[in-house]
Amino acid sequence: MKKALGILLLIVQLFTGCMMGGMGMMGMDHQQDHGEMNSEKAISKEVITSNYKLVAEFPIPQQHSEVGYSLTITNLLTKQRVVQAEVFFEVIASEKTENINSGENTPSNNEKLVSNKIEANENGEFRSLFLFHSVSKVNLVFNVISLENEKISFPIEIFTNQNVAEEQENHESGSWIDPLWFIGAAAMTAIMIFVHL
């Protein structure tokens, strides 16, 4: 009985090694070693006012990456996208968290990094691109001043606050294999041979 229990414990330990190898192959422990990952998520905001529905898409801002933000406006009576509108896109630095290069001019709090008037594209989307050079907290804002050539008494403002994610090294799944994977594979092979004997 003691011998069977000892063999069972050995098998359990080997299976633990197999699971660790599998986790390493999928890059799980590799990502955890990097410490903080960006916990931000892409944000979609919807506003319904009068006869219009406005939907803004705010993807996760990434350092050294050009990110595209979009706003769609739909007339609820006609169910058509509105392309005649006066829309501004703004990026405002709300908090500086890291300086990328010591010689680089860095934005101060509440500094407007961009304020562009944007036009609708062929898909009826108001899109704006912005390249983030530093890691900081930003306010992203769509301001709608007029709809279908009519001024709005109070501009519609759709905004979100996001953290710019640090640039990450890309490791595609399968391109990096942990040495524990090989140990787990060898242990699994040994168990299979042992079971079939």
Summarize pLDDT for 153-183 with one digit per residue, the tens: 889 999 999 888 887 654 444 455 667 767 8
Q: What is the pLDDT of residue 197?
A: 67
Q: Is the dihedral of CA 119, 121, 122, 124 positive or negative?
A: negative
Residues 183 and 96: beta-carbon distance below 8 Å: no
Q: List all residues 6 or more positions away from 101 whose beta carbon is below 8 Å from its beta carbon.
A: none
Q: Regarding predicted confidence, which is higher, 2 or 19?
A: 2
pLDDT at residue 174 in the model: 46
pTM of the model: 0.59
pLDDT above 60: residue 1: yes
pLDDT digits (tens, 9 = 90+) for 89-126: 999 988 654 444 334 445 556 788 889 999 999 999 99
The pLDDT score that the predictor gives to residue 9 is 61
The CA distances from residue 137 to 34, 54, 148, 165, in Å, are 21, 24, 33, 9
CA atoms of 191 and 39, how far apart (whole Å): 40
> Is the per-residue pLDDT at 196 higher than 70?
no
* pLDDT at position 89: 95
- What is the model's pLDDT at position 124? 92
Higher-scoring residue by pLDDT: 32, 13: 13
pLDDT tens by residue, 35-76? 344 446 789 999 998 899 999 999 988 888 889 999 999 999
Domain boundaries, the chain: 2-35+179-196, 43-163
Q: For residue 142, what pLDDT band results from cuts at 50, 70 and 90?
A: very high
Half-sphere CA count of 84, side-chain side, radius 13 A? 6
Are 165 and 70 within 8 A, CB to CB?
no
Q: Which residues pair with 43 in a beta bridge?
A: 58
Structure confidence at residue 79 (pLDDT):
94
Quote the pLDDT of residue 64.
Answer: 86
Query: pLDDT higher for 85 or 24?
Result: 85
The domain over range 43-163 is classified in CATH as 2.60.40.1930: yes
